[in-house]
Copies of this chain bind each other. A is one copy, B any other.
Amino acid sequence: MPKYRQKYGQFVIEGRKMVEEVFHSDWEIDGIWATKAFVNRHEPTYPFDIISVDENKKLTAFDTAPGVLALVRIPVPDALDQGVNFMLALDGISDPGNMGSIIRLADWFGLQQVIASEDCVDMFNPKCLNASMGSFLRVSVVYTKLNQVVEGRTVYGAFLDGVSIHNQKITGKSMLIVGSESHGIRLEAQSLVTKRITIPGNGGAESLNAAMASAILLDNLLR
């Protein structure tokens, strides 16, 4: 986790929809700032302070500043829930856009937690929050060693040489490990996999990105 988020226990969220969604959640907000132009256009109903366009430009994580941002307290992380039937686990996902998309996907399929190896990108990274489209409020990401959560589970992992994911359906306690764009599922996590699966495709692309692959895998396993 980047130092300022770790040090102050806060993160910044930007954009009209996201700020509104956080405001209506039970997460603790330390401040909301908006530009005059934003306020004139959207007439926010939550309390805010005005910032200048220049200040906003300095603070934003995006090429085009959305005009509104909130400083939010990082909540105490939820403990790992070992009781769930199915777990989604991420091995070394470093792209914040992929991470956020996967959080959104987990939320779509009703998963309330995602397990992430300790070197996965921080879920409070601005690009991750943005890609999650507010799903970070409903899905908790538990950073831990993957080998500490697999006991007694069928562990699925996607490889190019696995069996087709079609007609695979989870039964009993299970887990899906998704690897990163650059390294796939790394050796340590590979050793946890008990069922090697693959996404059938017959074109020229060598792989899919982690978010698209997760989408297809979850749709098949959880149907």
Contacts and interface: CB of A to CB of B under 8 A. Distances in A.
Contacts of A220: 219
Contacts of A201: 108-110
A56 interface: no
A57 to B, nearest CB: 15
Nearest to A209: B101
Given A219-B220, A220-B219, A101 B203 contact: no
Contacts of A41: none
A15 interface: no
Nearest to A131: B209
A107 B204 contact: yes
B212 A199 contact: no
Nearest to A165: B219
A105 to B, nearest CB: 6
A88 B210 CA distance: 21
Report the copy number of this chain in the oligomer. 2
Contacts of A211: 101, 209, 211-212
Contacts of A131: 209
A141 interface: no
Contact of A219 (B97, B108, B199, B209): B199
A89 to B, nearest CB: 18
Contact of A203 (B97, B108, B166): B108
Interface of A: 97, 101, 104-111, 131, 133, 135, 138, 166, 199-209, 211-216, 219-220, 223
